[in-house]
Amino acid sequence: MKCPICGSETEKGKLVGDRYALKWMNEKKKLFLGLWAVGGQVIDSRKTNLTLSRPFVNGYKCLNCKKIILAIE
């Protein structure tokens, strides 16, 4: 896939979280007590709820402009 920002070729991959799901936070939202992303949108492409799996979302990374394009569901 070509980068929609600079037009360079991108690398396909995934952004992987550790223990907890990744969340999207609008720039106007602040972390609750500076720690918790309350009210954030969960970004996780897992089809199961297995505690042994890791949250992830598929996407593309542009090595030229250093942007990551994520395919949220």
Binding site for Zn ion (CB under 5 A): 3, 5-6, 8, 62, 64-65
- Tell the smallest beta-carbon distance from residue 15 to Zn ion (Å): 16
Minimum distance from residue 18 beta carbon to Zn ion (Å): 27
- Do 68 and 59 touch, CB atoms closer than 8 A? yes
When the beta carbons of 3 and 15 are compared against Zn ion, the nearer one is 3
DSSP class per residue in 4-36: TTT--BEEEEEEE-SSS-EEE--TT---BTTTB
Q: How far is the CB of 30 from Zn ion (least distance, A)?
A: 30
